[in-house]
Structure 1
Amino acid sequence: MSRRGLTTIGLLAAGAGGYYFYQAGGKPKVAQKMAEHDAAAASNKLQSGFSGSGKEAQKAGEDYAARAGAKFDDAIAEAKSKGREFDAKVDKAAKEAESKYKEIKAEAGATFGERRKEAAQAIDSFDKTVEKKAAEAKSGISSWWGGGK
């Protein structure tokens, strides 16, 4: 420490001592007790200031935690809401797809049924024509060998 700092501290200490000595009416024991009392009061005030700051900091921390918790809860609620909306959209799309599938399947079945029916009729017609021609051919061949019908 510099000489100037030491001088300042010495003057402050001497001034404080003189103040207490004057207040005590020149009695050193009384001045010492007054100085100790004032020092204890200042110490208590300083400690209560720090403890109050601790309580204030704790309250501020609790307030911050409560606000952060509320924001977190809001975010969770919003996410759940969005999830429900998404689920509803997916369910709706699935139902529409299922309905469209059934519609297309019914149309395909009807078309297939019609085509199958047309094919069966064509086959029956072809069979009848083949049987008729086969019968004609048989009678024609039989006539070559002298057999008649």
Structure 2
Amino acid sequence: MSGRALQAGGVLAAAGAAYYLYQAGGNPKAAEKRFEADASKATTKLTGGASNHAQDAEKNAEVMGAEARAKADQMAHDARKQVDQLDAKVEAKVGEWEKQAKPMVDDAVKQTEAKLNEAVEKFDKNVSKSVSEGTKQVKAGISGWFGGSK
């Protein structure tokens, strides 16, 4: 029978711990402070109301401080999570835009290369033609010096 009492006590302790942990938003330190404050109030009631108001106020202040820290930590965690989600969305959009822009950029590069090659070929033809004509003129001039015919 004492084994059952021990099991019941264990279950009650676990349920109490779960209650305080839930009330504190999952923060063990805030749960501990709330438990201490409640234990202090219960002790005061059991001793017939002879309480130390300063001690009660201190316990309440500790509970409120621990809960505020837990709330601030949770808010910071949520904000980081939202920033991370936003970063992921931005990266996805950038990747999407890059995929959309790549064919346009590739096409523009191909067109530019084609125009550049065309201009280079035209320049080469003009230079070759000019050099060929210049060479003929020089040969004719030199031949004229030495008495040759044109």
What TM-score, normalized by structure 2, do the two folds share? 0.45
Larger relative contact order (CA 8 Å, sep ≥ 6): 2
What TM-score, normalized by structure 1, do the two folds share? 0.45
